[in-house]
């Protein structure tokens, strides 16, 4: 008996979708509308409760997934065996390649209700298949980045470190680490995210390492022997004050940092700072973790803390695990060959027809004061006014992903864009208390 065929190593993203996208394609191929030129738009109708802005993240991952959106023999056989679509549709899928255009906000940019963060221009057949893939990436990554931005804003100049991989799906953990860095986090504990996107990785030891040894001094001595004094010793496994004393005894006053993972962090951090200074370890930093979110980070602003380790809250969007983004058809070719706007009229789920472009207005001091969305645009808007900054960039042209948006370069550019974009917001807009969107959105017609 021959051995069974090994599983395919092809990592296609083509089945990361919903069945109805393929069944719509089948019907459109049969009635002749599949080739009609269409424009799809990604936007959110509202921000999560209490949020004043969102952060676009995941754009680079969308573009990376687009390059693997291929129906190989493995995917086609699954669709055939399951009788999910007919032969005509299978033939189309076998040759599927996206040949259209995608424009969008730069990754790291702020967004607001109604912001046209991504525009996909293609035939119906090519564009409709991307809906779930685009939304699953942008909704999750933008939720993480939006939460992470609130955290890094609350932290000020103190670094935030992402360490939430164990609280998420293993693949989501990589995406979350990337999105957190886009929004200003200084590093991640996730090694795959570090490898894939060139992120700085962090981590030294957990309580298990201390508990492994017969006593705390032995654990600290072992860690210092391997890594020298430029390491972080976790001092709250037993008694914190005694842990600090033992940490300095093991590493000397040049110890890089101690970490606190429990207790009243503001109170304990002050006590530990006083103790470290009294021992002569004035340069030893204090890292805090333990279920931190943006509100906890803000409450520690006056505490002698040097950096924050954030886990569960950042990878779950700090209570808002999705951005509510939708992917809607807003312009399509009619039976006469002319392009015409289309829109939903459903109660509470209405959309606005027509292709749109956007720009952000700033005042004389460079502070953002208005999001301007232009309807009826034929191409990305290049406003003549000096106080309007265009927001749409070409991401894919004639099916070709443009350079600079993927991989480690994409993350670096996105982090820079986020820092610059957030700096345009007033301090009021960055408050953690509930309120209206940071800036109003005005709709105009070309």
Q: Which domains, from first to last, does the chain contain?
A: 19-144+320-445 (3.20.140.10), 204-304 (3.20.20.70)
Rounded CA gap, 298 and 152, in Å? 10
- Among residues 119, 61, 210, 9, the alpha carbon closest in space to that of 394 is found at 119
- Tokens (6 digits) for 166: 């164990």
Pairing of strands 110-111, 54-55: antiparallel
Is the Cα dihedral 426, 431, 433, 437 positive or negative?
A: positive
Structure tokens at 306: 């040097």
User: CB within 8 A of 231, min separation 6: which ones?
Assistant: 204, 223, 224, 251, 255, 256, 257
Report pLDDT for 326: 97
pTM as predicted: 0.95
Angle at 430 between CA 178 and CA 321, to 5 degrees: 45
234 - beta bridge partners? 259
Half-sphere exposure of 426 (CA within 13 A, CB side): 11
Strands 257-260, 232-234: pairing kind: parallel
Q: How far apart are CA 254 and CA 248, in angstroms?
A: 8
Q: What is the pLDDT of residue 384?
A: 83
**Token digits for 364?**
């004389």
Give the pLDDT score at 4: 38
pLDDT, tens digit only, all 446 positions of the chain: 333 333 334 489 999 999 999 999 999 999 999 999 999 999 999 999 889 999 999 999 999 999 999 999 999 999 999 999 999 999 999 999 999 999 999 999 999 999 999 999 999 999 999 999 999 999 999 999 999 999 999 999 999 999 999 999 999 999 999 999 999 999 999 999 999 999 999 999 999 999 999 999 999 999 999 999 999 999 999 999 999 999 999 999 999 999 999 999 999 999 999 999 999 999 999 999 999 999 999 999 999 999 999 999 999 999 999 999 999 999 999 999 999 999 988 777 778 899 999 999 999 999 999 999 999 878 788 888 889 999 999 999 999 999 999 999 999 999 999 999 999 999 888 889 888 999 999 999 98
Q: Rounded distance, CA 194 to CA 70, Å? A: 27
| pLDDT on residue 2 | 37
State how far the Cα of 296 lies from the Cα of 232, in Å rounded to an integer. 22
Q: Which tokens go with 1?
A: 């008996």
Phi, psi of 310 (to 5 degrees): -120, 130
pLDDT at 435: 85
Phi and psi at 155, nearest 5°, equal -75, -20
Q: Can you tell me the distance from the alpha carbon of 118 to that of 104, in angstroms, rounded to the nearest whole number?
A: 4
């Amino acid at each position: 008996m021959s051995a069974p065929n090994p599983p395919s190593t092809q990592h296609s993203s083509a089945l990361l979708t919903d069945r109805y996208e393929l069944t719509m394609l089948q019907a459109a191929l049969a009635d002749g509308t599949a080739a009609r030129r269409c424009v799809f738009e990604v936007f959110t109708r509202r921000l999560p409760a209490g949020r004043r802005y969102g952060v676009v993240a995941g754009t680079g991952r969308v573009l990376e997934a687009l390059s693997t959106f291929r129906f190989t023999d493995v995917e086609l056989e699954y669709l055939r065996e399951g009788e999910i679509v007919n032969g005509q549709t299978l033939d189309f899928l076998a040759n599927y390649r996206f040949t259209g255009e995608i424009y969008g906000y730069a990754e790291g940019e702020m967004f607001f209700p109604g912001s046209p963060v991504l525009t996909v221009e293609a035939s119906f057949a090519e564009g409709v298949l991307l809906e779930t893939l685009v939304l699953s990436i942008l909704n999750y990554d933008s939720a993480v980045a939006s939460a992470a931005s609130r955290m890094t804003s609350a932290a000020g100049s103190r670094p935030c470190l992402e360490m939430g991989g164990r609280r998420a799906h293993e693949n989501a953990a990589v995406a979350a680490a990337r999105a957190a860095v886009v929004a200003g986090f200084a590093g991640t504990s996730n090694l795959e995210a570090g490898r894939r996107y060139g992120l700085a990785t962090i981590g030294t030891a957990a309580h298990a390492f201390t508990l492994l040894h017969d006593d705390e001094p032995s654990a600290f001595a072992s860690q210092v022997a391997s890594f020298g004094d430029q390491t972080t010793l976790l001092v709250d496994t037993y008694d914190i004050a005694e842990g600090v004393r033992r940490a300095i005894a093991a590493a000397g006053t040049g110890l890089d940092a101690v970490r606190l993972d429990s207790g009243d962090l503001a109170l304990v951090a002050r006590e530990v700072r006083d103790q470290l200074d009294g021992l002569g370890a004035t340069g030893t930093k204090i890292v805090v973790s333990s279920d931190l979110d943006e509100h906890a980070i803000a409450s520690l602003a006056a505490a002698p803390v040097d950096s924050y380790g954030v886990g569960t809250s950042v990878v779950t969007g700090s209570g808002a695990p999705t951005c509510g983004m939708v992917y809607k058809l807003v312009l399509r070719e009619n039976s006469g060959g002319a392009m015409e706007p289309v829109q939903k009229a459903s109660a509470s789920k209405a959309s606005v027809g027509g292709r749109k472009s956007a720009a952000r207005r700033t005042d004389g001091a460079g502070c953002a004061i208005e999001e301007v969305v232009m309807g009826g645009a034929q191409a990305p808007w290049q406003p003549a006014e000096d106080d309007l900054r265009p927001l749409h960039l070409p991401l894919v042209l004639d099916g070709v992903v443009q350079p600079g948006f993927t991989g480690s370069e994409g993350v670096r550019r996105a982090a820079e864009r986020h820092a610059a974009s957030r700096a345009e917001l007033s301090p009021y807009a960055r408050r953690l208390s509930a309120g209206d969107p940071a800036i109003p959105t005005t709709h105009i017609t070309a």
